[in-house]
Amino acid sequence: MKLSCMSKLISFSLQNPSRNYGALPSLRPSKIPNPPSLSSSSSSSSSSSSSTTLHDRIKVIRDPKASVLPVLEQWVTEGGAVEKQELQSLVRLLKDFRRFNHALEISQWMTDRRYFDLSPSDAAARLNLIHRVHGLEHAEKYFNNLSKNLKSVNAYGALLSIYVQEHSVEKAEATMQKMKKMGMAKTSFPYNMLINLYSQNGEHEKINILMQEMEENGIPLDKYTLRNRMIAYIAASDMPGMETILNRMEEDSNFIVDWKIYSMAASGYLKVGMIKKACSMLKMMERMMPLQGRKSLEFLITLYANTGHKGELYRVWNTYKQSNEPMDVPYGCMISSLAKLDDIEGAERIFEEWESRCTEYYDFRVLNRLLVAYCKKGLFDKAESAVKKAVEGRVPYASTWNALAIGYTESKQMPKAIETLKKALSVDRRGWVPDSSTLTACLDYLEGQGDFEGIEEIISLLKNLGPLSRDLYQRLLRASAASGKSVSIILDQMKVDGFTADEEAYKFLETGPS
């Protein structure tokens, strides 16, 4: 739900110290073509191969639980060409779209089928994906079993990155020492990774030691090094330290100080209440914007809202908004920013302007911003009216109903919260989960009311979205036992999902029918 623009920028830089920021992903949904027929008949083989690419066939598989292997095998059966470069490109693309399971399947398929040998960079990419899909233990096992020629600087760098993601300081430092011993720590990359980790953990003195070591060893402090150091100073509310880094970057012709740097500086000043200095950084940021266009607009909007200067916020919006491009993300940011400044009428006008431009796509996440604002103000009639209008002829996102459910829960309107929560769960978007506090509040309310059928209904809907947690199984056991229903099937399903039924669970077998 929350899309705080500045927090995304800071979070992204912390998690990706060796990457450029790039464009933020648009909220605008992609237009999905109809999936191609996978008929293997000889008559359709040539036409199917000529009318679509392997990339197109993989792209349309949206369900993360569905395997892409049948599509790959069908492609080969039809005589489609298998190019390593294309497969590698697909792995990178799917990873960027967070379709890690599909990316891992392709990575493994291209070597398991013996089409191509695994290169050091392929091994490093696979290591990262195994961690994403199967976790740390499997990733470590894969790394340990790599042949000597594949345990390159790429693989060690990937392993170091994994330990940073896991916040494992001891293992990250041990990996860095191995890299130094083998002569693999000759670039800024591993240092930046550790600086990233220390920044997250607040170990700022270690950052200074690393930077000093880099300078002593002749390793250049690149823009990622200084950017991460700057973020660490901001996290510590150390404005003199932040200014030292900013001045160093501005004075060194080897660095290009872009709008992202000034947005970070503005964020730092806002954090400590130095509004005037924050505004000066925003003016510098605006000077960079002609080269970036709307990519930086949402950050600028959010930061100006944080200054409390509503007039400046409107000026920026009217100056930089594009009239001929889809701008779902900036519109959403503007709505949230005006709501933060208690300008609900202004937020409504911006929403109406956005809605009037929706000719082909309707992104409910923009509506969600307005719903959140309405609910915080207790304007539930307006929220309900906006949703009723938006859903005419459209299928809303689960998050839209969830936004209402959260608002109703916070205002103690539990029957309505339960009703909208059920609507959210009924959208059946696998992988989506409702707000945990709202779900707990609704289940607690139903249990307190003795509405065990209502509990069973919600949990049944949750089962369609993914495996249940132990707490949900316990609730289901209590509801079934209270309703006089058998619980043995539930206990069996708990075992299937990897839960060992405890003593409390087995009590239900004694009290309920078997």
Residues 489, 299: Cα–Cα separation, whole Å: 51
pTM comes to 0.71
Question: What is the residue range of 500's domain?
Answer: 470-514
For residue 492, is it within any domain?
yes
C-alpha distances (whole Å) from 13 to each of 22, 66, 169, 193 are 11, 32, 19, 11
For residue 111, is it within any domain?
no
Residues 264, 237: Cα–Cα separation, whole Å: 12
Half-sphere exposure of residue 242: CA atoms within 13 angstroms, side-chain side: 24
What's the domain count of the chain? Answer: 1
For residue 502, is it within any domain?
yes
**Whether 465 contacts 495, CB under 8 Å:** no
For residue 499, is it within any domain?
yes
* SS3 at position 238: coil
**Whether 430 contacts 402, CB under 8 Å:** no
Residues 384, 371: Cα–Cα separation, whole Å: 9
**Whether 201 contacts 169, CB under 8 Å:** yes
Among left, alpha and beta (phi > 0; psi -120 to 50; other), residue 354 is alpha
Residues 426, 473: Cα–Cα separation, whole Å: 20
Residue from 297, 364, 486, 461 nearest 1 by CA: 364
Spell out the per-residue pLDDT of the chain, length 514, in tens: 433 444 445 444 444 433 332 222 333 333 333 333 333 333 333 333 344 888 888 888 877 778 889 999 888 888 888 888 889 999 998 998 889 999 999 999 988 886 788 899 999 999 999 999 999 999 999 999 999 999 999 999 999 999 999 999 999 999 999 999 999 999 999 999 999 999 888 888 899 899 999 999 999 888 889 998 999 999 989 999 999 999 999 998 888 888 999 999 999 999 999 999 999 999 999 988 765 566 788 899 999 999 999 999 999 999 888 765 667 888 999 999 999 999 999 999 999 999 988 877 889 999 999 999 999 999 999 999 999 999 998 989 999 999 999 999 999 999 999 999 999 999 867 668 899 999 999 999 999 999 989 999 999 898 888 788 888 888 888 888 887 777 777 887 787 777 776 655 556 555 554 4
* SS3 at position 312: helix
* SS3 at position 363: coil
* Burial readout 207-227 (b: 16 or more C-beta within 10 A, e: otherwise): beebbeebeeeebebbbbbbb
Most distant pair of Cα atoms in the chain: their distance: 78
For residue 462, is it within any domain?
no
* SS3 at position 218: coil
pLDDT, residue 412, reads 96
pLDDT, residue 325, reads 64
pLDDT, residue 503, reads 59
pLDDT, residue 64, reads 74
Tell me whether residue 415 is exposed, middle or buried, using C-beta atoms within 10 angstroms of its C-beta: 0 to 12, 13 to 18, 19 or more. exposed
pLDDT, residue 386, reads 96
For residue 230, is it within any domain?
no
For residue 511, is it within any domain?
yes
For residue 480, is it within any domain?
yes
pLDDT, residue 323, reads 61
Under 8 Å CB-to-CB from 128, ≥6 apart: which residues?
95, 139, 158, 161, 162
Residues 402, 420: Cα–Cα separation, whole Å: 7
